[in-house]
Amino acid sequence: MKPIGIAALDSFFARVQVILDRVYTTEDALVSARNALITAVGVAEGVTLDVALAEAVKSAQGALQLSLAGGKPTITVKPGTPPQAAAIGNAINGMVAATGKIATELPKLQGDAMALVEEAKSIPAKVPSMAADMGASPLQIPKMLGAVKDNVGTTLAVPGEIKGLIEEGVNTLNLVKTAFGGAPG
């Protein structure tokens, strides 16, 4: 978020940034978990998750077993499993754990983001009077308005980013279930 120079607006956009940071951290955890799977399986970087999971099942040669607890897949590694298959199982479980974080944290953030979106819509109209009240020169106002419009645009996009990441988490879980012969949920 760009600084505006008006304390109330900078404080507002700092709240938006906190939500964005949590979304990005959650997304990074899922990406890292997927990369760990790709590394464990030994497939090319950039391969789709369904292909990586199919290769994981093939590479594990029956050493991994899917169980569902409350709809959440867990991979169990059979005793005596080769290290690569165990690494694959751990990587898949890491990916499932990352999707669990998505399922628990992001719906709460979605409500917070929607409330901020509603508030953000009215901010651009308030900037000229807020800037004048703080003694900003008329030449500073257009720069402030530009930063506000950029920040508002970012704020308006947050709920969509959250929704997309939630859908990605659900899709990831379904791909894991399908790869191991479980029904998607």
Rounded to whole angstroms, how far apart are CA atoms 113 and 12? 12
Share of the chain above pLDDT 70, in %: 97
The pair of structure tokens assigned to 60 is 């594990």
Other Cβ atoms less than 10 A from the Cβ of 27: the count is 19
The model's pTM: 0.85
Q: Is residue 83 part of a domain?
A: yes
Q: Is residue 136 part of a domain?
A: yes
Q: Is residue 131 part of a domain?
A: yes
Range of the domain at 34: 7-179
Condensed to tens digits (0 to 9), the pLDDT of residues 39-52 reads 999 888 889 999 99
**Average model confidence (pLDDT) across the chain:** 90
Condensed to tens digits (0 to 9), the pLDDT of residues 98-127 reads 998 898 889 999 999 999 999 999 999 999
Q: Is residue 184 part of a domain?
A: no
Q: Is residue 73 part of a domain?
A: yes
Number of domains composing the chain: 1
Q: What's the pLDDT score for residue 149?
A: 96
Q: Is residue 185 part of a domain?
A: no
Would you give the end-to-end CA distance of the chain in angstroms? Answer: 37
Q: Is residue 36 part of a domain?
A: yes
Q: Is residue 2 part of a domain?
A: no
